[in-house]
């Protein structure tokens, strides 16, 4: 993925974004084609279930080649730097929500989610974040568990459950 500006890259690449996009597209198309090739065509149906997706994937690969070609022929946008901090924190927050919810309920996992994700903001103020998170979780429990009656555990503790 885009790690840094490839301005210092080879000078014959005129649209770095297009070239990288084209390569990514072709790699994805190759993975999809590989997965589609494993589908057995011995079914009684006249047409292989892989036929339609294969047509689409070959078109995608052709599009990828055109993107690469365009990147060499035409001036295009470069690649931007992607700060990893927000990506990692937001992903971590969502994953911990998935891990913790079945065990402790969404009141706990939601709090963890908001606190981790909140750190991704550059101007984070931790005390404000904690306060807002606690209030919002409280409101969510009232809304989702008591008003909308979602069948989802809000809080699971060995001695108490909501």
Partner 1 sequence: MPALLSDLQLGFSIALSFNNILLCLLGCLIGTLIGVLPGIGPIATISILLPFTFGIPPVGSMIMLAGIYYGAQYGGSTTAILVRMPGEASSIVTIMDGNAMARAGRAGAALALAALGSFVAGTFATIVLGAFAEPLGRVALYLGPEDYFALIILGIVFAIILAGGSLLKAVIAVLFGIILATVGTDVETGAQRLTFGLPSLLEGLNVSILAMGIFGIGEILHNLESPQGRPMIKEAIGRLWPSRSEIKRSTGPVLRGTLIGSALGILPGSGTLLAPFASYVLEKKISNDPSRFGHGAPEGVAGPEAANNAAAQTCFIPLLSLGLPPNAVMALMLGALTIQGIVPGPQVFTKNPDLFWGMVASMWIGNAMLLVINLPLIGVWVSLLKVKYRLLFPAILLFCCIGLFSVNRLPEDVYFMAGFGVVGLALAKLGFEAAPLLLGFVLGEALEANFRRVLILGDGDWTTFVRSPVAATLLLGALLLLSAALFPKVRKGREEVLVEG
Total site size for partner 1, rule CB under 8 A: 73
- Kindly tell me which residue out of 4, 37, 98, 146 binds partner 1, with binding defined by CB under 8 A: 98
The CA-atom distances, in angstroms, between 124 and each of 85, 114, 130 are 13, 12, 11
Q: Which of 126, 131, 127, 95 is nearest to 113 (CA)?
A: 95
Site string for partner 1, 49-68 (x = CB under 8 A): xx-xx--xx-xx--xx-xx-
Token pair, residue 160, equals 């108490």
The least distance separating partner 1 from the CB of residue 128, rounded to whole angstroms, comes to 7
Q: Which is nearer to partner 1, 9 or 63 (CB)?
A: 63
Site membership for partner 1, residue 158 (CB under 8 A): no
Site membership for partner 1, residue 117 (CB under 8 A): yes
Phi-psi category of 149—alpha, beta or left, where left has phi over 0 and alpha has psi -120 to 50?
A: left
* Sequence-separated (6 or more) residues with CB below 8 Å from residue 162: 105, 107, 141, 145, 153, 154, 155
The least distance separating partner 1 from the CB of residue 66, rounded to whole angstroms, comes to 6
Question: Residues 73 to 92: which contact partner 1 by CB under 8 A?
Answer: 77, 79-80, 82-83, 86-87, 90-91
- Kindly tell me which residue out of 14, 72, 130, 140 binds partner 1, with binding defined by CB under 8 A: 140
């Amino acid at each position: 993925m885009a790690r840094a500006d490839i301005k210092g890259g080879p000078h014959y690449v005129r649209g770095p974004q297009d070239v990288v996009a084209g390569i990514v597209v072709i790699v994805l198309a190759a993975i999809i084609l590989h997965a589609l090739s494993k589908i057995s065509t011995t079914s009684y149906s006249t047409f292989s279930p892989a036929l339609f997706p294969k047509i689409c994937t070959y078109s995608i690969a052709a599009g990828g080649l055109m993107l690469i070609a365009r990147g060499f022929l035409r001036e295009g946008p470069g690649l931007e730097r992607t700060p990893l901090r927000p990506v990692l924190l937001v992903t971590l927050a969502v994953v911990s929500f998935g891990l913790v919810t079945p065990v402790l309920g969404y009141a706990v996992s939601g709090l963890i989610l908001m606190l981790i994700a909140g750190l991704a903001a550059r101007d984070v103020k931790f005390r404000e974040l904690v306060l807002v998170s606690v209030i919002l979780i409280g409101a969510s429990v009232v809304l989702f568990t008591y008003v909308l009656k979602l069948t989802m555990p809000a809080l699971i503790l060995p001695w108490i459950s909501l």
